[in-house]
Structure 1
């Protein structure tokens, strides 16, 4: 079960990487139907999904992907034109694939839902193409004007979905309308450019980065404590060492922070599809322009702003833009423009969302607020225009004329503001009726480690994030008259401007005497466009702090953003500047304070399947684990009983000899000292034969829900790492360990004999998932495996290394398998080199093309025994079978 789950996880990761680009590519293809690169890229993604799900037995997913692949294949061959109608059907297929994958991710199985309608729409496109009846959009005709042909369903040419599925988009291209400096033109979308980043990067599990960030946070705390101790001692030598540690810690912190940064385009990439679908549904014309897509921010913040930004974009298209006719009547272009911009400024991320739509009618907002009882009529009449606009953030208020599945219910903008403020950000709105609306969002770069100003109030120490700090003002006794009282509120006249004041002790309702000495300390802060002064008893200093979340019992305290541990070990609360302003009545809440006690942090939810694991060490330092289900017995032997033979160490055990494997020697570890005079041994049994693994010390047997992280160093015998009780533990591959120590043990004890000599196999496959499944069992059979990701890379290997057999996929970037086979067979030195096709292309014409290209055998993905038999047969020079279809698919 654990192995199957791991295979599914690998499959889902690979699918998400490819599907993230499809929405964009199809939207671009609709605007540029002749772009062959986009077609090829989309075809490869769908083709890989189809082939892989056939191996995993995911029938519904395979059927939808197969039907979509057939349509794309016709387009690629020039037998079907690209029209808005066909793109709509393909996008619906992508939505279906995402829906199925989401079900697999959450339940490990396909949904009960029937997807026959999607397949029928795709098949209908093929039928129309074969009859030369495919719809084409004439110049100037809007997509909404597509009409069904020959009695076919209208869904073939018009959007059927009322609410488009918004999948994760992590592609590398910017959305439609991005300025040319950030847009990759059709002529630049070569596979070479796509592959370059992959060659210099690796995939790292997010939880590993989070753990690394937590460790750096602890290091920063230790650094702060050390610096404080050194300052107290005033020792020159210690001070030099501490400063060096301070420098290294800061550099390490900055580097680790960069590993968590992701470009905002990872969220924006799905917006072209969202805008396209909503515009078609509402019979509107909207162009999306994005600037600053490469602006980076912390991954946690990126996840937090994804839903608010999506809601704003959807609301703008559905509710903000007029119909083309209405725009023309106002003297505007028929096509509206939605502009997204992101940039760094003042240690924060600034995001602007601007539309040139109808704008917000402030008087209408006031009337709605009074009608719904959100404010009294008298209070509404006294509101300024800016204050009235802020009412749109109140729950239940909407000025939409009609309710749609996107907007009009008064739910959404209040949640947008709440979510933005929850991560220490602010959101402001400005609008001109008839001209458009702009929203400004400001959020911090990161939430993990931040610079802060330490202040005191009522004898307590507090931290204020410097991202909200404008300046510090010291008002001495002689200038105290510049603090004025207006309507029982305090103001300070700063450079001719009245600055509202709040006193920290009053806001927090804490007592305590101020430190002796006249005057006032004012910390000038900003939240959004509102500036104010916070009067504190004392300003201490600035330092970097590690943000720790408050417990559930304290999350309802909106004036605090978290807590931090100081250098002396004391805890200081971090002030939420926006919360302070709201508490002091300077900023309208927009939403009531919420009790978040019942909300759980989803990032801490358990992942993976619960497993019983044996935990042990080898050298006394590193920890290792294996599934308890593989363990036959735990034994302790007297060292005197261990004997040496030609084949290695053994011990007499249960009327036989038990071979022993020293894990320390195999893994390159120093054996742990034996203190009790016994040797701990983990006994593994398979098919009435046993082997013992010598370990250092049995530490624990645990039952935990774990998630396996792939080993990045490729260490033999280690399949990955897991986190057990907060510590990273290496997970051993017991089969590989035994095979490394006693070659042939798995085969030999079953009475099998190797049919052929071992050989070197060149595995040519662009799918990392399939490579990870093929390589291990080939190596278990004694073959040496080298990998190439496409035909071009394979030819480079062949020119420099001796290879006994080539095992190749067909569909690959740069050079596919057919071209590779042709190139090989055209050269005399490769004439007798066997080459096996391993693909999901299973039609008779596909097999014929493979045979003509020169493949020795043609296999359908993916049956282990069939592959091994074919490899042995080819290497032994046995009879060749033109095509095998064991466990294959119909496409």
Structure 2
């Protein structure tokens, strides 16, 4: 394979990538032209025209004649639309969209584009060119509307004219691309000077100049366009072999590059290029193209004449700068930096490699932090904390580079909705909110297909025909709304339609008919519990199979794909009113916080997004709080019965004898959420939470549904990441929500309606029990005593990039604090008070429970409000606000 061929392939691949990117935006712009206001329609048409013009020019340069032919026909229609010579209509949109589809098809197999017939599309586009028409909804052609916004008496109004309606992003992209093109041209001219050139190098220079000329002409930068055109003519003569490379041509082109750069910088600063005199350069290049200048000029004299012309800069002009134009937000520069200095294009593969390196750095950081916990070397500890801070900042920065707006995944939906609505004979409007919400690019790619399926279902079976909607008192046009937003460290995506809603009786009947539920289950299912049935494999309410999925067809696949990336889908529907599909997904899959647990000496990681809370059940408590339903152990947690599942049992590890018998063992329980269900996972030990780097399992292990991947721990050993949903399915605990204790009352009666309060029960140094309202608590933490440091007369600890003061609760309540032993750990309740974090140390955390508090004794001691009987023991009730005020002024050391 020759070098020239390889370079052609590089150019073609770049062309295909850029063209497909252009067409993705063009499709949405074409769909919005019909409904756009007069002021925004101009900008939209200009954007579409510019994209198609770029494709046409590049296709012609690369000799992709079929693509060039169709793009040229499409460009003529868009030009006529821009000039007000044809109407904006649904017919025009249909024909132009079909042409866009044909262009996409040819680009997907660009080497066989010559075999594709485009005559029918070109003919259809030609029929649209009916002269004399005006754009629907306006009183004047678009060209007239544009011209009316410029100053007629201004002799340079033609330059401003074309700039009207151009988006700031388009101008910024032009400036950035021009800087890159100029740098590339300069590099290639140096190759030509050194004699290491070939015909492909000249072709590459020609293409870069041609691209710059076309964009400058479209945006109205006439001087830049004229110089580029003259330069392009000279390069064309070199490319055809009519002229040969020599020192005179080299000097002329090098000086022209300097002029290009001067023009671009002037446009960036002044937003026009009118004050640069380019006539000398144009004439010199023209004479070189004709061959008449070569005999009469020396490289030195030509260079001097070109540089002299370029030296006529805006700063040497006495004229005042022109009035600001609408694009003067367009080329704004942060902190005085140019567009080229403030932006850079990076290959996605490079970002992925960088992300992998950061992942390995996080693993190394974890190893070092684990080593520091076992050493008393203060210098080593300080250096490791610094490494921890830098690694966290680097990780955050790299993660941001992988983030993309979710609007990238929504770009095709306007077309999907339009085509499907027309096919179904419905009128549907698509509303998209939160397009700027950012997600990791891997997540975006993973949710494209599930979202497409949900949107199609909303149009097909959610939205009613216009006649049915009018009869129900609704507008004739239905609405499908896509909404995205951040919540609780995750991203929520909602697909809502204002259609007929789910037919719950029909869903139950179909599920019964297909044997998915029993008659007794169908009789007991509420509407809320009926909705998830549509996600069962093989479920469908469609009377016949069509090419359009009905609501329920393939929904099990949608659910599986969403859960594969750690997400969850929920459905809410009101019959006759609306249906909302709510998807909750993580921000990223690369590095996630996880809880580390162990079973039979093996460690496992549980993604923190599935974690609800941690519960310790002592032997004494288990005898009265662990019960059995159908021989299965359940734990009474704040009035709810929580199914208990042993991790050892699920993983077929040796089980502790009689682990589920009341009073047999102390139990460590991780309360997890899978879909709408909660269950308790019994583990041997619970370690701290830490950020882990997710490594995918090999293809030989991917069928093990209880594992979501693997990670390398701080000591270099591998830990498997548990798939909470897979565990729940395997343990068969996805039968519904946790059971209310009211359902298990011996007499069948309802429990008291007394208001319940969630509290944290803890023990302090003297053995006293205290209760703290959980609503006041930010976090519960376990710290090693060795991490305590002294600062301003207080004991503190480095915590989440802050300094956390630690005070013993027993000391605040007027008691002696228990001496702290090196190598031991301490339980700390973290509060946020007046935007400051405070840590209150307790001897141990006993429980978190929901109970009705009946104060039996009122206390007048600082920090306490009274006493109550909780879990059969006298417990002091903490006055949190007063306690935190005491902690804030406490200056004594922990002992």
Bin for the TM-score computed over the shorter chain? 0.5 to 0.7
Match of 1:482 in 2: 625
Match of 2:467 in 1: 325
**SS, match of residue 428 in structure 1:** strand
Per-residue CA distance 1:436-495 (angstroms, 9 max, x = gap): 211111111111111110001222111001111121111122221212211222222222
Selected match of 1:97 from 103, 107, 116: 103
Match of 2:688 in 1: 541
Match of 1:117 in 2: 120
- In the alignment, the residues of structure 2 paired with residue 117 and residue 191 of structure 1 have an alpha-carbon distance, to the nearest angstrom, of 39
1:562 aligned onto 2:705: no
TM-superposed deviation, 1:77: 1.4
Match of 2:646 in 1: 503
TM-superposed deviation, 1:277: 2.2
Q: Scaled by the length of structure 1, what TM-score is found?
A: 0.57
- In the alignment, the residues of structure 2 paired with residue 456 and residue 189 of structure 1 have an alpha-carbon distance, to the nearest angstrom, of 65
TM-superposed deviation, 1:402: 4.7
Match of 1:75 in 2: 81
Match of 1:6 in 2: 10
TM-superposed deviation, 1:36: 1.3
- In the alignment, the residues of structure 1 paired with residue 529 and residue 115 of structure 2 have an alpha-carbon distance, to the nearest angstrom, of 50
User: Where does 1:222-301 land on structure 2 (aligned, <5 Å)?
Assistant: 222-301=364-443
**Do the aligned partners of 2:85 and 2:133 also contact (CA within 8 Å) in 1?**
no
TM-superposed deviation, 1:19: 1.7
Per-residue CA distance 1:195-216 (angstroms, 9 max, x = gap): 6697532221111111000000
CA 1:378 to 1:495, structure 2 compared with 1: closer, same or farther past 3 Å?
closer
TM-superposed deviation, 1:79: 1.0
**Do the aligned partners of 2:457 and 2:551 also contact (CA within 8 Å) in 1?**
no
TM-superposed deviation, 1:406: 2.2
Per-residue CA distance 1:679-706 (angstroms, 9 max, x = gap): xxxxxxxxxxxxxxxxxxxxxxxxxxxx
The structure that has the greater radius of gyration is 2
Q: Scaled by the length of structure 2, what TM-score is found?
A: 0.57
Higher helix share: 2
- In the alignment, the residues of structure 2 paired with residue 98 and residue 374 of structure 1 have an alpha-carbon distance, to the nearest angstrom, of 43
TM-superposed deviation, 1:586: 2.2
Selected match of 1:21 from 2, 20, 25: 25
CA 1:565 to 1:194, structure 2 compared with 1: closer, same or farther past 3 Å?
same
TM-superposed deviation, 1:559: 0.9
CA 1:192 to 1:202, structure 2 compared with 1: closer, same or farther past 3 Å?
farther
- In the alignment, the residues of structure 2 paired with residue 416 and residue 256 of structure 1 have an alpha-carbon distance, to the nearest angstrom, of 30
Could you list the structure 1 runs, at least 4 aligned residues long, displaced by more than 6 angstroms after superposition: 133-139, 514-517
**Do the aligned partners of 2:672 and 2:681 also contact (CA within 8 Å) in 1?**
yes
CA 1:172 to 1:243, structure 2 compared with 1: closer, same or farther past 3 Å?
farther
- In the alignment, the residues of structure 1 paired with residue 113 and residue 502 of structure 2 have an alpha-carbon distance, to the nearest angstrom, of 44
TM-superposed deviation, 1:45: 0.6
Selected match of 1:204 from 322, 346, 365: 346
**Do the aligned partners of 2:84 and 2:134 also contact (CA within 8 Å) in 1?**
no
CA 1:325 to 1:387, structure 2 compared with 1: closer, same or farther past 3 Å?
same
RCO greater where, 1 or 2, for CA within 8 Å and sep 6 or more? 1
CA 1:345 to 1:136, structure 2 compared with 1: closer, same or farther past 3 Å?
closer
Match of 2:507 in 1: 365
- In the alignment, the residues of structure 2 paired with residue 400 and residue 424 of structure 1 have an alpha-carbon distance, to the nearest angstrom, of 29
CA 1:528 to 1:294, structure 2 compared with 1: closer, same or farther past 3 Å?
farther
TM-superposed deviation, 1:579: 1.0
- In the alignment, the residues of structure 2 paired with residue 189 and residue 391 of structure 1 have an alpha-carbon distance, to the nearest angstrom, of 58
**SS, match of residue 399 in structure 2:** helix
**Do the aligned partners of 1:458 and 1:513 also contact (CA within 8 Å) in 2?**
no
**SS, match of residue 583 in structure 2:** strand
Match of 1:426 in 2: 568
Match of 2:723 in 1: 576
Selected match of 2:43 from 28, 37, 46: 37
- In the alignment, the residues of structure 2 paired with residue 298 and residue 111 of structure 1 have an alpha-carbon distance, to the nearest angstrom, of 38
TM-superposed deviation, 1:33: 6.5
1:400 aligned onto 2:542: yes
TM-superposed deviation, 1:420: 0.6
- In the alignment, the residues of structure 2 paired with residue 526 and residue 420 of structure 1 have an alpha-carbon distance, to the nearest angstrom, of 16
- In the alignment, the residues of structure 2 paired with residue 444 and residue 37 of structure 1 have an alpha-carbon distance, to the nearest angstrom, of 36
Selected match of 1:471 from 607, 613, 632: 613
Match of 1:862 in 2: none
User: Where does 1:665-744 land on structure 2 (aligned, <5 Å)?
Assistant: none
Aligned residues: 538
TM-superposed deviation, 1:326: 0.2
TM-superposed deviation, 1:383: 4.3
Match of 1:494 in 2: 637
CA 1:78 to 1:133, structure 2 compared with 1: closer, same or farther past 3 Å?
closer
Match of 1:524 in 2: 671
Selected match of 1:46 from 41, 44, 52: 52
Gaps in structure 1 of 5+ consecutive residues: 140-170, 174-187, 590-891
**SS, match of residue 568 in structure 1:** coil
**SS, match of residue 232 in structure 1:** coil
Selected match of 2:71 from 65, 83, 97: 65
- In the alignment, the residues of structure 2 paired with residue 102 and residue 411 of structure 1 have an alpha-carbon distance, to the nearest angstrom, of 30
CA 1:114 to 1:411, structure 2 compared with 1: closer, same or farther past 3 Å?
farther
CA 1:67 to 1:289, structure 2 compared with 1: closer, same or farther past 3 Å?
same
CA 1:196 to 1:401, structure 2 compared with 1: closer, same or farther past 3 Å?
farther
Match of 1:385 in 2: 527
RMSD (Å) for aligned C-alpha atoms: 2.9
User: Where does 1:49-198 land on structure 2 (aligned, <5 Å)?
Assistant: 49-104=55-110, 108-110=111-113, 112-126=115-129, 129-130=130-131
Per-residue CA distance 1:257-302 (angstroms, 9 max, x = gap): 1111111111123222222222222222222222222111111001
**SS, match of residue 563 in structure 1:** strand
